[in-house]
């Protein structure tokens, strides 16, 4: 994943995702299956995934739009987050897979703060953020590889900034691996480096 930085409850240290409340969605969950009426499922530990749409089927030069996420966008998140792990933090893959239940709960909880980039009905990218106290933390941002370098990630980042600001005077922050090329995106968008910890560079939004 080109533009993503961290996720709760998935590291080898066993850190848990924040608790989720009662999600008003029609789903079934058990120890070995998570099923949405939208038509996809994941079996642990093999983590087979079925989606109702391909995410790379559209020509990259077609127009796109940004919209609020829906529950049927969750397969896109799974694929995007997994691609990030494999590309940037492969040493965390086993722990990430073991924590799939926590990821699913996190993604459901964060749906109200999630945006999707869509091209002719096909999701091609997403971002979501979380509120932690007085901070609006960018949790992840991702664009399908075939659609990168078209300004889509910047539009998703702008959606996060605008949405977080609409929730009051929150401090907009994010963390990114030092070798993640997304650093350039954040810096040009007005995020200023504050400190480095545990291999992550941390930024705070400083633009007007």
> What pLDDT, on a 0 to 100 scale, did the predictor assign at position 181?
87
Between helices 100-109 and 74-88, what is the axis angle to 10°?
A: 130
Q: How far apart are CA 143 and CA 46, in angstroms?
A: 25
Question: Which residues touch 201 (CB under 8 Å, ≥6 apart)?
Answer: 175, 176, 177, 178, 183, 193
Separation CA 204–CA 208 (nearest Å): 12
- β-bridge mates for residue 114, sequence order: 128
Q: Go through the domains of the chain in sequence order and give each one's CATH number.
A: 27-205 (3.40.630.30)
Looking at the whole model, is its pTM more than 0.75?
no
What pLDDT band is residue 37 in, cutting at 50, 70 and 90?
very low
pLDDT digits (tens, 9 = 90+) for 100-151: 999 999 999 999 999 999 999 999 999 999 999 999 999 999 999 999 999 9
State the maximum Cα–Cα separation within the chain, in Å, rounded to a whole number. 47
């Amino acid at each position: 994943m080109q533009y993503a930085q961290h996720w709760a409850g998935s590291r080898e240290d066993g850190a848990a995702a924040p608790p989720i409340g009662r999600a008003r969605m029609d789903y079934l969950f058990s120890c070995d299956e998570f099923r949405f009426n939208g038509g996809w499922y994941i079996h642990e530990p093999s983590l087979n995934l079925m989606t109702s749409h391909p995410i790379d089927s559209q020509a990259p030069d077609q127009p796109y739009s940004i919209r609020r996420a829906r529950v049927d966008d969750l397969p896109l998140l799974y694929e995007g987050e997994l691609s990030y792990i494999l590309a940037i933090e492969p040493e965390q893959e086993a722990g990430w897979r073991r924590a799939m239940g926590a990821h699913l709960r996190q993604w459901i909880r964060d749906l109200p703060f999630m945006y999707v980039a869509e091209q002719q009905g096909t999701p091609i990218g997403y971002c979501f953020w979380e509120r932690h106290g007085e901070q609006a933390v960018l949790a992840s941002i991702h664009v399908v590889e075939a659609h990168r370098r078209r300004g889509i990630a910047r539009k998703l980042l702008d959606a996060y900034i605008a949405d977080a600001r609409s929730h009051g005077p929150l401090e907009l922050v994010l963390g990114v691996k030092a070798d993640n090329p997304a650093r350039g995106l954040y810096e040009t968008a007005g995020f200023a480096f504050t400190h480095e910890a545990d291999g992550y560079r941390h930024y705070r939004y400083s633009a007007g």
